[in-house]
Amino acid sequence: MKIEQVFKNNQKWIEEKLSVNQNYFNDLSKGQAPEFLYIGCSDSRVTAEDIMGVQPGEVFVHRNIANVVNNIDLNVHSVINYAVQHLEVKHVVICGHYYCGGVKAAMQPTDMGILNPWLRNIRDVYRLHKEELNCIKDEDARYNRLIELNVQEQCINLIKIKAIQKAHAERNLLVHGWVFDVKTGKLIDLKIDFKKILKGIMDIYKLT
């Protein structure tokens, strides 16, 4: 696509929005009150608004390679704290996806250069669940399972955060783990049990 086309598309989109509501952009400019914080993969095929069927203003979004909540990533922690404490979102979602290149790369014991430290987050998930994963003989099934386990572990990383624990206790903020299946378009809920996870880790991680 030529870059000029992007600006033509933008003009067409403005006209479409205004034809339905003359005040559309004026209303958007007044502020945002999203109910969801979505943390997903940077993969171009997995767009939060499209797969959730929501409009601008309805979801606060953070994306990185393989939807990781790394403890020393100031970027993701700033997003989480702003969304939870200031926007007061009701739900925090970790959304992984099948056919995730980041997870695939992490499964191979090869040097990925500058990506090594980032992929190590996922390699650590593999190590934590090595017993279960190594029992899965089919490589695609093992790959899919690591994608799900990575979502689960990133949900646990969320639950370790004080702002999340506090908002859960005070106003029942919920954490969700989802997987998007690129091949079918289906969004799968892994049914993360916040209370059970917190109970299991609270001897070390409970901060409130």
| Smallest distance from Co ion to CB 34, Å | 22
| Rounded alpha-carbon distances, angstroms, from residue 179 to 33, 102, 132, 150, 208 | 25, 14, 19, 10, 30
Tell whether the torsion through CA atoms of 65, 196, 180 and 55 is positive or negative: negative
| Smallest distance from Co ion to CB 193, Å | 25
Task: Check if 142 is active-site.
Answer: no
Which residues make up the interface to Co ion (CB under 5 A)? 41, 43, 100, 102
Q: Give the separation between CA 153 and CA 192, rounded to whole angstroms.
A: 10
Catalytic residue selected from 62, 97, 168, 176: 97
Task: Check if 155 is active-site.
Answer: no
| Smallest distance from Co ion to CB 40, Å | 8
Nearer to Co ion, 41 or 156 (CB): 41
Task: Check if 91 is active-site.
Answer: no
Bridge partners, 176 (sequence order): 93
Q: Give the separation between CA 54 and CA 37, rounded to whole angstroms.
A: 12
Task: Check if 181 is active-site.
Answer: no
Residue 40's nearest CA partner among 17, 66, 59, 20 is: 66
Nearer to Co ion, 70 or 81 (CB): 70
| 54 φ, ψ (degrees, to nearest 5) | -120, 165
Nearer to Co ion, 80 or 105 (CB): 105
Catalytic residue selected from 62, 95, 100, 168: 100
| Smallest distance from Co ion to CB 2, Å | 27
Read off the tokens for 207.
């901060």
* Residues involved in catalysis: 41, 43, 45, 97, 100
